[in-house]
Every structure is written in C-alpha cells, then in structure tokens.
Amino acid sequence: MNAENRDHDYDVAILGGSLAGAATALLLLRKKPALRVVVLEKSSAFGRRVGEATVEISAYFLSRVLGLAAHLNHHHLAKQGMRFWFANDRARTLADCSEIGGRYLARVPAWQVDRSVLDEEVLRLARAAGAVVLRPAKARRVELDPAGNTVHLEDGSGARTLRARWVIDATGFAALLARANGWFRPNEAHPTTSLWARWTGVKDLDGHELAERFPAWAAACRGLRSTATNHLMGDGWWAWSIPLKGGDYSIGVVFDHRRVAMPEGPTIGGRLREFLNRHPVGRELLERAEPVEGDAHWRSDLPYTSTRFAGDGFALVGDAAAFIDPFYSPGMDGVAYTVTRAVELVLAAFEGKAVAPLVEAHNRDFERAFSRWFDAVYRDKYDVFGDFELMCRAFRLDLALYYIGVVSQPFERGGDALHDPVFTLPRSEIPFRLMRWYNRRLARMARERRRRGTLGKANAGGRFLLNGFLPERGQVPAVLRGLASHAALELREGWRTWFRKG
C-alpha cells in the first residue's frame, strides 16, 4: 500500500537533528522533494562535541553522497591516517616510544571533524531542502503504529503531539526507541568507559621544538604526524588526540574498566592529565596544554546494540541503532550504512512496495553486521593494545582487509555499496572468519605474554611505518605479507597457547 497519508501531520518525523538525523532528512528530500519531513532537535545550537575522525567509508559518504567536500576542506582538517604510540620502562621520551603509522601522506581523503560545525551544516542543508526544523524540541515518547505514529514532544510552547507515518530515531546514545521498547542490549562482553576533554595549547608533533630536540625521530616520517589521529596505547586502554580547525584538540581515553582505573580527582581534565602523563607521548603533548572548562565528559558502558533496527513505520539510524567501540573511528561508518538503508526503506514504502520483506532484510543485515564487526575486530582487542609487536600485526591485517573488502566497494560501485553493511554479503564470509581468527589468536598471545611478563617488551625503539594502502583489490599481497608475519609469530611463540584454554 502507498505509505502516504495526508491525515498525518508529516510523512516522516526525525528525532534528532545532528548528523544521522539531518543526513536522513536531506537524502529523503533530495530523492522525493514532496515529502513532508520534520526534524526535532533538542538543542537551540549544537554544543561542541568530542572531536571525531572520519575513516574512508564515512569520508566517502560525507563528501560524495552528501556533497560536503567543500565544507569539509574549508571548516575541518584533512586527516593523515592513524598513528599508534607505545611505551614501557625503557621509553623515557617521545622519541623512545615505538610507533606505528604511515610514512607518507594519506592517499584516500578523510577528515578530522568538529562535529558541532558539521552537524549545523548538514541540518542547514536539510532545512534548505524543505525539512521543517523544530528547535529546541525534544521527543519524550513515541507510540508506534503502522497506521500512523504519535510523537509526544516538548518545545517552546510546551507539551504537544504530532502524527507521522514514519519515525526515524536519530537520538544517539539516548536510543529513545530501543530503550522504550525493550530492544536495547548492552554489550557485557566489552565493558569499556571513556572520558575526554577539549584542550588548548597541545604541542605540535610537527613543530620546530620537537624537530630540534629529536631530529632523527622527526625525519623518519615523510608526511605529517600532527594531523593524524594519534593513539597512545597501553595494556587495556588507548587514548586519542584529534586536532581540530582553529588549534584546539580533542583528547580522551577509553579503557576496559575491569582492568584499568582512572586516577581520582575533582575534575575530568585533571584526571585525564594525570593518567596520560604516565605515557611519554601524553606527557609531551600536554606539557603546556589546558582542558577547556565545561567541555569535559565521562561515559561508561559504551557498547550496546538494539534487537530491532526497523519496522513498518520506524527505523533507527546512527548511534540510536548500535555503538561498538570508538577505536578505528567506526561511528560515522555506521551512520553511512544505517542512513542509506533507512532512506531506501522509507522511499520504498512511499512507492507502494511491500514493507515486510524489506524490514526483515533490514533487521537481519544490521544484526549480522554489528555482531560480526564486534567479533572480527573488537572482541578481546584491549588485551593486544599494550604490545607493539602484536598491534603491528593486528593493524596491518585489519587495515589491509578493510581497504580490500570495505573501502574498495564505494569506489567500485558508487553510493549503492552503502546498501550492504559490513559482513552481510556472502563473499565477506572468508574475510570475517580470517579477521576473527587472527585477532583472537593475537589476544591469546597477549594474555600469554602478560602471564610470562613479556608483554610490551618491544614498546621502546620500534618503528613500523607503512607506505599506505589503496582501495583496490591489488592490495591482496599486503594481506599475504601480513599473514606470513603472523605465521612466523605463531611458530616462534604462538605454539605456547595452541592447547591451552583462556
């Protein structure tokens, strides 16, 4: 049946006006301008959020699908890949720390994003395309009904309701529909916590001061270190440093709270500084830095998913659908896939197509994608973070397989590739099993090294600089080299865990 019903106040009500919600509104109206779309955004202006890095899929979505390349180049920083810094008792200075990263500049575009600026731009474009934006307006409750959903909201005029044939939940971590309907599931196998702050006065990794003190270290990288997402690595934790346009930085830490405890203290910024000062790179970066008062945050129990992602008349997008882990910056990849599929679902309904089989495929694909992405990449990964040698192998294979199996797809197929979330196509079965296998093996070896007191022995004086990857299938030799390196490690020491449980 045709989903359009002029008795409703709107055809589509979108709860949340930041990136996921605004992008959904924008794409719906570009494809079907006659739709009556309303966006409910709780804030009158977006506050500055944690700095966020795109990776290649989200960068494609933002630049090629949404058409934001000019905005990204003007208002945000070009990202120069990822770098990882390791330390042990022998690493006294930044130059002593073992390093993983790129030797040259990145080959595929990505950006260090100031989310408040990006969110405002996408919402502006949605409004220009014809969306009604109610702001500030917060959805309090939704009564789901395929005949027409009722949204109970509160805005400047008080409490009221509106009716819409479709509701899109883009409420982020609030996950309004999942929590209200009993679909919300925390990931108890991955208990992580994060705290972060915005900082001024962070030291420039490419600046004159460090180059003068550590000339050999500075010369080892032909590209730029400062505009990469720099990761400080430790046993059971990692921290990020993301530079933003204008000179300030987003710096924070994520840790497995079963094994790592933050220092006590009256402020988040002070606790962060004390913790990161234990790492030579953190100590160097924060030497003259100050956290921005009022822009420091804490969130526990990060990972979760929903048992439903769509139904007849509703869909969950972005973090309202699931959140796995911020390592490798997959959050906006999730936005790209969930928004693409939600838009396809809504448009199909308004074209009179049968909704039930589309909803069934939607729920099946995202349940598979989120569970497999966690199993392949993140399960037990925090066991590996404290060891340079093991992370060299994990990162090399993770990145090569991501490029071959994921990044290559939109460059080969265009935006249609975003219809298929990661690990949902039959040809992804072997890469999934391979990633799950080697990451699980590396975690086992990390636990054995910890037991034997050898974890992190190579965290000083090592440097693994990659020449870079291309989103082409010709990168298969890089996978084979990575597997050969892993096989050598198995023969050297992995055998210790072949017949041991845990």
| Residue 156 DSSP one-character state | T
2/7 Cα distance (integer angstroms): 13
224/218 Cα distance (integer angstroms): 10
Tens of pLDDT, residue by residue over 96-144, are 999 999 999 998 999 999 999 999 999 999 999 999 999 999 999 999 9
Task: Report the candidate in 252, 238, 243, 233 with the shortest Cα–Cα distance to residue 203.
Answer: 243
pLDDT at 6: 57
pLDDT at 55: 93
Judge whether residue 5 has pLDDT over 70. no
Q: How many CA atoms lie within 13 A of 52 on its CB side?
A: 23
The region, left, alpha or beta by phi > 0 then psi within -120 to 50, assigned to residue 172 is left
Judge whether residue 472 has pLDDT over 80. no
Tens of pLDDT, residue by residue over 251-306, are 999 999 999 999 999 999 999 999 999 999 999 999 999 999 888 999 999 999 99
3-state secondary structure of 408: helix
pLDDT at 491: 92
Domains and CATH numbers, the chain: 1-76+114-187+306-353 (3.50.50.60), 81-107+191-299 (3.30.9.100), 385-495 (no CATH)
Judge whether residue 466 has pLDDT over 70. yes
Mean pLDDT taken over the chain: 94
Tens of pLDDT, residue by residue over 12-50, are 999 999 999 999 999 999 999 999 999 999 999 998 777
Tens of pLDDT, residue by residue over 230-241, are 999 999 999 999
Tens of pLDDT, residue by residue over 387-415, are 999 999 999 999 999 988 898 899 899 99
Q: What is the mean pLDDT of residues 421-425?
A: 94
Task: Report the candidate in 344, 346, 335, 322 with the shortest Cα–Cα distance to residue 18.
Answer: 335
Count the Cβ atoms, other than its own, within 10 Å of residue 397: 22
pLDDT at 1: 37
Give the residue ranges of DSSP H helices in 403-462: 408-413, 429-452
Give the residue ranges of DSSP H helices in 163-219: 176-180, 208-213, 215-219
Cβ–Cβ < 8 Å for 29, 126: yes
- Percent over 70 (pLDDT), the chain: 98
32/27 Cα distance (integer angstroms): 8
**Which residue is listed with tokens 């974890």?**
455
Cβ–Cβ < 8 Å for 117, 96: no
**Which residue is listed with tokens 């990006």?**
118
Residue 473 binned pLDDT confidence (cut-offs 50, 70, 90): low
284/209 Cα distance (integer angstroms): 11
Cβ–Cβ < 8 Å for 176, 249: no
111/80 Cα distance (integer angstroms): 8
Q: What is the mean pLDDT of residues 149-178?
A: 96
Q: 52 Cβ partners below 8 Å, 6+ apart?
A: 113, 115, 242, 250, 329, 331, 332
pLDDT at 217: 97
Judge whether residue 210 has pLDDT over 60. yes
Judge whether residue 342 has pLDDT over 80. yes
Planar angle of CA 238, 337, 39, nearest 5 degrees? 100
128/111 Cα distance (integer angstroms): 25
Which regions of 156-312 does DSSP assign to beta strands (E)? 158-169, 184-186, 192-200, 229-234, 237-243, 249-256, 290-299, 304-306, 310-311
Task: Please report, as a single letter, which amino acid is at residue 217.
Answer: W
254/271 Cα distance (integer angstroms): 13
Phi, psi angle pair for 491, to nearest 5°: -70, -30
Residue 474 binned pLDDT confidence (cut-offs 50, 70, 90): low
Q: Output helix, strand, coil percentages for the chain, rounded to the nearest 5.
A: 45, 25, 35
The CA-based diameter of the chain, rounded to the nearest angstrom, is 71
